[in-house]
Amino acid sequence: MTSRILVVDDERVIADTLSLILRGVGYEAFTAYDGRLGLEAARRLEPDLVLSDVVMPALDGVSMAMEIHDALPKVKLMLISGQAGTADLLHDAEARGFHFELLQKPMHPDELIRRVKMALLPSKPCHEANSLPC
């Protein structure tokens, strides 16, 4: 089964380009152009992964990711940003117990594909994970 990825970015060219890259390697990719639309699309599509910009009007990517996590806990979330102002948003999320991977823009398409593939790998059961205690 093909993985479904939702790309959320208020810069349409970036959202469309990322979706095009992901479709080119076989993913089923969808786009939304702001955080509110991304949240609605995630609820409707129930994607395997949401790849979202951080700084957006209406609803920022971190807030959107927290809402998606609460509503759809199986959906994997990755954030992307080219702006320095994301640190405060991520710090607030971490203080509330959320930890999101942050990718820096711009990024080479090969790196994007590699990171998406890694994010979509099945999670190991808790007893097999050698990192954090269960």
Domain assignment present for residue 134? The answer is: no
State yes or no: pLDDT of 127 exceeds 60.
Answer: no
Please state the domain count of the chain.
1
The enclosing domain of 104 has a CATH number of 3.40.50.2300
Distance CA(51)–CA(118), nearest Å, equals: 13
Rounded to two decimals, the pTM is 0.84
Q: Please give the residue range of the domain that contains residue 8.
A: 4-128
Torsion angle, CA of 109/56/37/16, rounded to 10 degrees?
-30
Domain assignment present for residue 133? The answer is: no
Domain assignment present for residue 119? The answer is: yes
Q: Concatenated DSSP letters for 45-72?
A: H--SEEEEESS-SSS-HHHHHHHHHHH-
Domain assignment present for residue 77? The answer is: yes
Domain assignment present for residue 27? The answer is: yes
Domain assignment present for residue 52? The answer is: yes
Domain assignment present for residue 43? The answer is: yes
Domain assignment present for residue 115? The answer is: yes
**pLDDT (tens digit, 9 = 90+) per residue, 44-80?**
999 999 999 998 988 999 999 999 999 999 999 999 9
